Amino acid sequence: MTQPLHMHIKASIFASEKPLNITPELLEFGEKSLSKFEIAEIRYGIKAIDGYSFRIGRIFQIEVKSVTGKIIKIRFQSVYQVRRKKLEEKYIQILNALFENYFNDIVGGFVRSFNNKIDFDILGVTFTQEGVILNKNTATILWMNLGTQNYWTYYALFSKSDPHHNRAFYYLTDWNTIVLRTVSRHILKEKEII
């Protein structure tokens, strides 16, 4: 069951608060809004704020893109550990609400396509019934030979028999890396490979 989320986001200590509303029908942040059916892609991550010789803070970033290219950017920061725990909790709440309300449906659409034997692409990776094609210049990696590795900042797909045949996708810079990860892992679990 999807749960709406309503909160206020303050980008920094000196910025004014903006309302964030995530409902099953609509995403609103400040003056911008997207309907559920417009939402297509997401990227997110935590960037370091580096001082002269050590890290002084973090920037929490979430971006949601529509099918027409409109982007809603949600950013907030913690400097010198001020509000760090509270902001980490907000960050996780926002991501969970976005997945529950929008991205689980997008993942479900890709899984239905796969189950209906329809090929599709996510981030340039082609999913077929036989396996995945990492880019148009490489051979198909069969499902039994496909390896995955999830790291804090990126997700990788690779051939178990030839680990040099691989591709990495970064959560912060590549749109829909989490969708790629969820769909590929779901298919591997359905095939009882992982």
> What's the confidence (pLDDT) of residue 14?
79
H or E, element range at 122: strand 120-122
Two tokens at 42?
Answer: 């997401």
Q: Tell me how far apart the alpha carbons of residues 11 and 15 are, in angstroms, rounded to a whole number.
A: 6
Question: Does the predicted TM-score (pTM) go above 0.85?
Answer: yes
Cα(77)–Cα(97) distance, integer angstroms: 20
pLDDT for 48 equals 87
- pLDDT of 133 reads 97
Give the model's pLDDT for residue 81: 75
Instruction: With a cut of 50, list the residues of the chain below it in pLDDT.
Output: none
The pLDDT of residue 1: 59
Asked if residues 142 and 131 have their Cβ atoms less than 8 Å apart, the reply is yes
Would you give the distance in Å from CA 53 to the centre of its chain? 31
Q: What is the CATH number of domain 5-106?
A: 2.30.29
pLDDT tens track for 132-180: 999 888 899 999 999 999 999 999 999 999 999 999 999 999 999 999 9
Asked if residue 184 lies in contact with residue 111, where contact means CB atoms within 8 angstroms, the answer is no
Would you kindly state where each structural domain of the chain is located, as residue ranges? 5-106, 119-190
